[in-house]
Amino acid sequence: MKKLLLIIILSSAALLAQEQESTLNKQMNTQLLQPITVTVGGDFVVTGSFTAYRSQRVDHFITILFTQAKEKITSSLNQLETIKQVYQGLDRFPLRDITLKRITGEILKVDLLKFRLTGDFKYNPYLMNDDVIIFSAYDDERNFIDVVGAVNKPVKFQFVEGDKLSDAILFAGGIDLAYDNVKSVEISRLKEKGEKEELLVYSINDDIMLKRGDRIRVIFDENEKRAFKVLVLGEIQRPGYVYITKNSTTIKDVIEKVGG
């Protein structure tokens, strides 16, 4: 009898816990679906207060706003070249150094470019009611970092205070593995009038702080390990492509490779 009573009590407790968990989940889902108000200001294609949801992160919300605004602006245009020019102008809004202000007074820095490259959600927080998103002004002619050399994607990107060499390598798609022994970088810094240059060389492992306007060249030795080949046809045993060296393969070498 005692065992039966204990089983009934435990079953009732488990059922009650499941019901409470289900109720809590429903409440949380309801809260996530409730509309909130988010204000957008600064250097963005459209500003004002808009409806959002607690389930949205900054990138999702901003992408929707931007897409809707772009469609509205270009819907009345009929010249393809004009539409392209408008698109180019609209697409220049800053993805970095975005300020998110909470009603609690908390201030967060949002970096959508870094989020899209790393997938790290700390750069792309969830929205809350009465959030204010402020886009900083972006002068891409002066407020930039430029990266070339042994990287996968030479790039010019928006500079943000606190950027390091590792950030520049990240935005440039990482080191191009086609080059061996990439060990150093050269940083070119112009003086204010642009007439004098300071050249600095660092190890690629020196995660130095960057300055606005830095031009970075990831130094490499030219890699000539390419797919050099020639097409051989005619009365030979094995017609087709033959791999050769850059400058030293002779006709005799080629003939021997195709079987004479």
- What would the two tokens of residue 146 be? 């430029």
Burial pattern 77-97, b for ≥16 Cβ within 10 A else e, equals eeeeeeeeeeeeebeebbbbb
pLDDT score for 192: 76
Q: Which residue has the higher pLDDT, 138 or 260?
A: 138
Judged against a pLDDT cut of 80, whether residue 86 lies above it is answered with no
Ranges of H-type helices in the chain? 2-33, 58-74, 80-90, 112-118, 165-171, 251-257
pLDDT score for 103: 96
Q: For residues 171 and 178, give the distance between their C-alpha atoms in angstroms, rounded to a whole number.
A: 18
Each domain of the chain, given as residue ranges in start order, spans 35-135, 144-218, 225-260
CATH code 2.60.120 for 35-135: no
Instruction: Check: CB of residue 83 under 8 Å from CB of residue 77.
Output: yes
Q: Which fold has domain 144-218?
A: Outer membrane lipoprotein wza fold like (3.10.560)
Judged against a pLDDT cut of 70, whether residue 214 lies above it is answered with yes
Token pair 């009590």 in the structure block, residue: 9
Q: β-strands 131-135, 35-42: how paired? A: parallel
Residue 233: pLDDT band with limits 50, 70, 90: confident
Token pair 């690629």 in the structure block, residue: 204
